[in-house]
Structure 1
Amino acid sequence: MRHFDFKNGELHAEDVALSRIVAEVGTPVYVYSSATFEHHYRVFAESFSGIDALVAYSVKANSNIAVLATLAKLGAGADVVSGGELARALIAGIPGDRIVFSGVGKTRAEMADALDAGIKVFNVESLPELRALNEVALEKGLIAPISFRVNPDVTAGGHEKISTGAKENKFGIAWSSAEDAYAEAARLPGIRVVGVDVHIGSQIDDLAPFEAAIRKVASLIGRLRAAGHKIHAFDIGGGLGIPYGDNSRTPPPPSEYGALVKRLTSDLDVQMIFEPGRVIAGNSGVLLTEVLYVKEGEDRAFLIIDAAMNDLLRPALYDAFHDIEPVRAPGPDFQSTTYDIVGPICETGDTFAKGREMPTVASGDLLAIHSTGAYGAVQSSQYNTRPLVPEVMVRGEAYRVIRERPTIADILKTERLPDW
């Protein structure tokens, strides 16, 4: 469910006309619906009612502190992968004991900050990281709670660049080495083993890989307990997909995912930890853009829009599909045209869609690129010295700018000419 609907012939976010936002903020601009974030979080969390569960929202999906604060009020924890994301979560009101720290390259400074914040658990991904964390914890006179992220060699995900559970991926401890890793952790005085972590991919549209991973980890938990380790938590990561509007398979709803998890883990006596990101944020946002020019090529028409690959990287990075439609609904007798929809950057990869049939539009018309609430603004850059896209949050009839668009002067003031 998403709260982006046509009213009186114009697309709205909840009760705010998107053209009204554009009139004040300009384009390109990301617009988020508070009601959609809240609805998706509740649906996901309620899927695990009846079991001990922590829903630790994956901050990397959309890290705006207004988004995090919205979810924090509903009881969400946070899954962070950097010191910056940790700071964002804490500022937004997520307590340290509801934060898990993932990622393959944690620095010692980040480890120290996380220990000071009293986070729930470090998801450790290598023995060198474990040893560094032990040293940092001892220097601070603290004990670091850890789970190892184990790599179950289960392939899943909508694209090879977002599959993380195969043995050739950089993530986690190799399955064959997991028990030896836990044995070493148990010998370190600054480390306390608390659980097992796994994450197999992103945009997963089938429950079978989840089932395979859960069964393997459940068996590992049994062996670890037999070896004397106290395993209290099972972090299953994130990865559940969303519909993007193309013809690919529709992912299962959280209710089916929750039923699967409860069935397979009912006798494990662990707290289940989940790291959803896209499934909460993805369809909670749109990117608004203006048509600059309609260019007639020799064999196709191009829509040149003012949004670019630096604003929304997913199509260039993952060949991702996003539904795109005019903000103003076409009349009953509208004509259709097939377009390549492209941005203004001097890269062939600056393309949002090829051969996309849609109602005929003209220069100055507004388009909404849907399902951009996750991995949109967070992946944006200032390539070509293009200012970062502002972000707007809507609640009912009100909206607020939650990230401003910097000026060119704002960008340039961070740079310095050397004295030579």
Structure 2
Amino acid sequence: MESSLDSRNWSTEKSAELYRLEAWGSPYLRVTDDGGIAVNCRPDKFEQSDFTIDQIVDDLYRQGGKLPAIVRCPDILHHRADRIKAAFQRSISRLSYSGDFQLCYPVKTNQRRNVVRAVRQNGIGLEVGTKAELAIGLDEIKHSSKPLLCNGAKDRLYMDLVIHAAKAGVNAILTIERPEEVQLLIKRFKEHQFCPALGLRICPGTQAEGFWSESTGQCGQFGMHRHELIWAVDELRKHGILHHVKMLHYHLGSQISDLQFIERAAEEVASVYAELIEEGLPLKIVNAGGGIAVNYGGNSENSYYTKNYSLDDYSYRLLSAVSGVCRRDGCPEPVIYIESGRGLAAHHSFVVFELFDRGLPDHPTGLQRGVQHRELATLESYARAPFPRFERVTEAFSVCQSKYRSGLMKLREYARAEKLYSDLCRQSFSTRAPRNLSGNLSIFQSVPDAWGLKQLFPIMPIQRLNEAPVERAKLLDVTCDSDGVFQEYQSALSPEWLPVHPIGPDPYYVAAFHTGAYQETIGDIHNLYGRTSVIRVSCNDDGSHECELDHAGDTVADVMQEVSYLEDVIDEIWAFFGVTGNEEARKAIHQLADGSTYLDLDNRNQP
């Protein structure tokens, strides 16, 4: 696509192709004719939408929010849930599968109340893994017949609360994951004389590929191995609890990009299910955990960021594997549960932030222009040439570097050489190195997996897509950390840099997409950059949209309190400046305390 980056022949279709938008953004995003990005929150009802991210940003500012901001689209959550459920129903019909299907949401994916509430509107069960998540799950599901899957490490209080919930009629299933939990359960059963529905979690021998492959397979860290499972079954039988076991649970891992592993694990666990049925366990459910992958814009070279299947493929192959074993062994086909976090939630939110250039203006002053070295003169001549050869430019600049290090070139002379080299690099799109541009966000707060896992997230400008993005950029955040950089990009040209437009005096906005799973609650306040603004977008039945500000963003005072610097610290600083008689400083410290932790780029050009 290199030759097509010609502004005279550019089009919005070429922008969509360049950023691979169709592969990872359909059916929710499209490039508009005027170069924006439209969001279609309800593709089941509307073929396309003209509501752009620029309009969302305008609403954000009108309601008192600022960038950076998380944009949440609950309607996309609903659409994702409907697509997953519909895919399984089609596969059930195709296979004449006698069992049913239940979709569950792992609360750890995003515990924010608005997100969990939106999920629950779709008749979805919940999976919890801690005592705090258990409290959330009980609050959300207490009047519902949908399942509450109680996983994770457990202590006495955790089990007691599940037992009380089950007594009160909550459809809670307590998953036994480790042998020590069997012993604790037996003690709690004896005290309460009551046992909730139980699940047994096994560690499948199948090992998938991906970021989390080491947590699965024969040495996996979650679930019981076969000998532990047999011991657990025998112990539960001995204490008269075995008849409460209703579910067999396994989890292959998150973001399983290759369908063969999903099918292989399902077949393996179905064989265990069939044998346990033969031993007399009243199993009704096989819980296949999570694993539905999301296309983050990857390709065959970085396949962990993409997938080789559709939702129909996933549901059909999983059900087919289970059905094949059950029909072979003559046992009933179970209800299939899945705990889909990433596949359900990733698409529904994205982060918008402003990109800016920390470099000098195009025509800096004060650089030495007197030519006293042949190599500097060579660079001057290349700057006037229409198509200089990049290797010769690099060679001339390398000599200047050597001379400067040896003391043979003065600082101002070298500064001139450096500026010429930088300008020449920017002139040739096909050979130049990317420039560092800064995004007004913290990767550690808003897209932490881009740092922790070096994960690819699709990033692209949200405006000017009817123009050719002729600049190459590597995107840095505003933290004081060398890891605060996006390392990989989904561009069709190169994974090492992002094509962007020349940044002028107007704000230049970009967005990181598919951040709805895990990013918001994993994010931390590194460098004391706090939570961003959050705005929620809803689509009405007539196609109109409403935006509601959920959170205006943390202030400096908010994050200071998180690290135990309370409000009196601000007052003490204010008093200190009062002693010195500096009233402007006293005013500034209160503005700082009440202001955003991020840069105020709106006022950067004000005196």
Q: TM-score, normalised by structure 2?
A: 0.63
User: Do 1:134 and 1:144's aligned partners in 2 also have CA atoms closer than 8 Å?
Assistant: no
Q: Does 1:67 align with 2:115?
A: yes
Distance apart, 1:281 and its partner CA: 1.0
- Would the alpha carbon gap of residues 263 and 416 (structure 1) be closer, same or farther in structure 2, given more than 3 Å must change? closer
CA distance in 2, matches of 1:139, 1:73: 36
Q: What letter corresponds to residue 30 of structure 2 in structure 1?
A: D
- The ranges of structure 1 where at least 4 consecutive aligned residues each deviate by more than 6 angstroms after the TM superposition are none
- Would the alpha carbon gap of residues 30 and 261 (structure 1) be closer, same or farther in structure 2, given more than 3 Å must change? same
CA distance in 2, matches of 1:115, 1:292: 55
Q: Does 1:27 align with 2:67?
A: yes
SS of 1:240 mapped into structure 2:
coil
Alignment of 1:1-400 (within 5 A): 1-7=26-32, 8-14=34-40, 15=51, 17-23=55-61, 24-49=64-89, 50=92, 51-93=99-141, 95=144, 97-103=146-152, 105-118=153-166, 119-159=171-211, 161=212, 164-188=215-239, 192-247=244-299, 248=303, 249-266=306-323, 267=326, 268-295=332-359, 300-311=434-445, 312-332=447-467, 334-354=468-488, 355-362=496-503, 364-396=507-539, 397-400=545-548
Larger relative contact order (Cα-Cα within 8 Å, sequence gap ≥ 6): 1
More helix by share: 2
CA distance in 2, matches of 1:93, 1:400: 26
CA distance in 2, matches of 1:203, 1:75: 24
Q: Which deviations, in whole Å up to 9, do the C-alpha atoms of 1:154-195 show, x marking residues without a partner? A: 111421x36532222321111343222222223345672222
Q: What letter corresponds to residue 398 of structure 1 in structure 2?
A: E
User: Do 1:198 and 1:236's aligned partners in 2 also have CA atoms closer than 8 Å?
Assistant: yes
- CA-based RMSD of the aligned residues comes to 2.6
More strand by share: 1
Distance apart, 1:145 and its partner CA: 2.2
CA distance in 1, matches of 2:286, 2:209: 21
Q: Which sits farther off after the overlay, 92-101 or 335-344?
A: 92-101
Equivalenced residue count is 415
Q: Which sits farther off after the overlay, 28-37 or 113-122?
A: 113-122
CA distance in 2, matches of 1:92, 1:392: 22
SS of 1:352 mapped into structure 2:
coil
SS of 2:277 mapped into structure 1:
helix
Distance apart, 1:21 and its partner CA: 4.2
Which has the higher Rg, Structure 1 or Structure 2? Answer: 2
Q: Which sits farther off after the overlay, 162-171 or 392-401?
A: 162-171
Q: What letter corresponds to residue 400 of structure 1 in structure 2?
A: E
User: Do 1:12 and 1:18's aligned partners in 2 also have CA atoms closer than 8 Å?
Assistant: no
- Would the alpha carbon gap of residues 342 and 414 (structure 1) be closer, same or farther in structure 2, given more than 3 Å must change? closer
CA distance in 2, matches of 1:277, 1:263: 23
CA distance in 1, matches of 2:336, 2:74: 26
- Would the alpha carbon gap of residues 69 and 389 (structure 1) be closer, same or farther in structure 2, given more than 3 Å must change? same
Partner of 2:409: none
User: Do 1:137 and 1:144's aligned partners in 2 also have CA atoms closer than 8 Å?
Assistant: no
CA distance in 2, matches of 1:374, 1:389: 16
- Would the alpha carbon gap of residues 197 and 353 (structure 1) be closer, same or farther in structure 2, given more than 3 Å must change? same
Unaligned stretches of 5+ residues in structure 1: none
Q: What letter corresponds to residue 222 of structure 2 in structure 1?
A: F
Distance apart, 1:96 and its partner CA: 6.8
SS of 2:102 mapped into structure 1:
strand
Q: What letter corresponds to residue 211 of structure 1 in structure 2?
A: E
- Would the alpha carbon gap of residues 2 and 368 (structure 1) be closer, same or farther in structure 2, given more than 3 Å must change? farther
User: Do 1:244 and 1:371's aligned partners in 2 also have CA atoms closer than 8 Å?
Assistant: yes
CA distance in 1, matches of 2:517, 2:189: 34
Distance apart, 1:70 and its partner CA: 1.8
User: Do 2:162 and 2:196's aligned partners in 1 also have CA atoms closer than 8 Å?
Assistant: no
User: Do 2:68 and 2:440's aligned partners in 1 also have CA atoms closer than 8 Å?
Assistant: yes
* Percent identity of equivalent pairs: 19
Q: What letter corresponds to residue 317 of structure 1 in structure 2?
A: G
- Would the alpha carbon gap of residues 96 and 125 (structure 1) be closer, same or farther in structure 2, given more than 3 Å must change? farther
